[in-house]
Chains A and B, each alone.
Chain A
């Protein structure tokens, strides 16, 4: 078990290292440097600037310094926002994204599992069909289309909910709905198929035969076993919601990290792009790592086989 965790952790570190290195060298591959496009600057000032940003040193040295800085949580200084630390910008904008993301993950899991359960319990009946049509739509319709539609109908036409901004509970409804449409659809499908399998398993028959109440069977056996595959999806789902939030934040004007990312890309603020990319990378790989570990704890069958391997 310890070995399994250590293995996964090491794996995560390697992936992160590669991402950081790739980011660094790709950015170095862009012709010119931050100061070439500015208007003519006296050589002395140019040199001074280079020195200040460490650009006068060889690339390898810069690379090592960059790695060291990142380990200490320092992502450098933004190029377009004068004298703003990238890590500070990330820190400031992260809270809005975090709130949105956490709410979205919780909503997605609860609604998705509930929908999938209903569909499985009422297999081949109206609820099942409706849920599965919704699921197919949710998977196929891109989140930005969902977001725009919701915004148009509920905010612009019906005036039930605010169009833009992020100031109170009501402001969460539309972005969260748009962000979770796809994960909910996915979770509902996963839950449904695994619950259907569980419902036909022998141990459910045994439970019935020994006279357990339907509620007890449902909560003690069906749900616990049925939501197992959902745990594996938590990692990919986090990735989905994080990348989705980039677009959703833009549409709903939420001042989160995603919106910052889009801005950074549009003005080519390289240190900020690098910083947010690596930050996202760390976040998503951590989510993956946690999922991998969580799965072993939730499903004892995995523990046995993996234990034998490692």
Chain B
């Protein structure tokens, strides 16, 4: 608070004549904002902070991410092995002091592999979400901003693309392109951006007739400036929510592709491919599936809950 603000919190007993002063007739002074203004972001953050479920989810996500990177290092220091070092005398062993999550069929440590897999899954999820964001925002922004014919044609195109079941397209692409980390991410984004583009389009369409846009336009702002300086920043809430919710979708899709043998290929492992590898002996060596399955479920759960919380925080209108 600045120095000349009125002490609103004081009780009548504390009031002295000094607390009162003439504001005068100067309108400018009368309209000075007396209290610190809360920005939309702080407001949203406060709402988010009071949402216990969402904050728990955020903490879980942070923990998972940190462990994904620190976990393998710990094993390296303590036991001296990495994700591909194998111990063929100790294959398919249950959790123990040296192998916290047990070992797999090649005697590789499951603790290290689970967290390495988490890294890969998170990478796939985030990379796919970022590309979706990039394409979706531009495509959706153009659709929403220009409207009319442009919108009609671009929208029809995205609708047709969307109506083709995306997993089929992804599978086809990967059959042709041979799966690697890059092609998987590419295949996941081939139709993944459409949802984002529709969200952006809807937001822009609502915003573009507002007064502040008119004001900026009347001062000679061009399309690019209007779109990137005024319209998109105002649509950032729903965009963030969509990104948050599209990360678990990509992680799930990658896991699904692993079941078809089209996920990341050995020696790299993702959570999905580890679960798939564990499937054959799962009834005998449950820990090989259990730990990656727990991590992937927790990750997706946390992303979903956090995304819902974010939506409530950023867009209170939607809250029921």
Question: Which A residues are within 8 Å of any B CB, using their own CB?
Answer: 11-12, 14-15, 18-19, 22-23, 26-27, 29-30, 136-137, 139-142, 144-145, 148-149, 151-152, 156, 163, 193, 196, 239, 242-243, 246-247, 250-251, 261-262, 265-266, 268, 270, 273, 277, 280-281, 284-285, 288
Min CB distance A264 to B, Å, is: 9
Residue among A14, A261, A277, A285 with the highest chain B CB neighbour number at 10 A = A277
Assembly CA distance A136 to B308 (angstroms): 10
Q: In the assembled complex, which residues on chain A have CB atoms less than 8 Å from the CB atom of B81? A: none
Question: Which B residues are within 8 Å of any A CB, using their own CB?
Answer: 159-160, 163-165, 167-169, 171-173, 175-176, 248, 252, 255-256, 259-262, 275, 279, 282-283, 286, 289, 293, 296-297, 300-301, 303-305, 320
B279 touches A268 (CB 8 A): no
B260 touches A265 (CB 8 A): yes
Q: In the assembled complex, which residues on chain A have CB atoms less than 8 Å from the CB atom of B275? A: 144-145, 148
- Selected contact of A29 from candidates B176, B248, B252, B296, CB within 8 Å: B176
Q: In the assembled complex, which residues on chain B have CB atoms less than 8 Å from the CB atom of A156? A: 283
Assembly CA distance A11 to B248 (angstroms): 30
Interface of B, helix, strand, loop or mixed by DSSP:
helix
- Selected contact of A142 from candidates B262, B286, B297, CB within 8 Å: B297
Assembly CA distance A63 to B289 (angstroms): 44
- Selected contact of B283 from candidates A15, A139, A151, CB within 8 Å: A151
A30 touches B296 (CB 8 A): no
Q: In the assembled complex, which residues on chain B have CB atoms less than 8 Å from the CB atom of A140? A: 248, 297, 300-301, 303-305
Q: In the assembled complex, which residues on chain A have CB atoms less than 8 Å from the CB atom of B283? A: 151-152, 156, 163
Assembly CA distance A144 to B256 (angstroms): 8
A152 touches B163 (CB 8 A): no
Q: Residue of B at shortest CB range from A266?
A: B261
When A23-B172, A243-B165 are in contact, do A142 and B255 touch as well, CB less than 8 Å? yes
Residue among B163, B164, B279, B305 with the highest chain A CB neighbour number at 10 A = B163
Q: Residue of A at shortest CB range from B282?
A: A148
Assembly CA distance A18 to B164 (angstroms): 8
When A136-B301, A152-B282 are in contact, do A18 and B176 touch as well, CB less than 8 Å? no
Min CB distance B288 to A, Å, is: 11
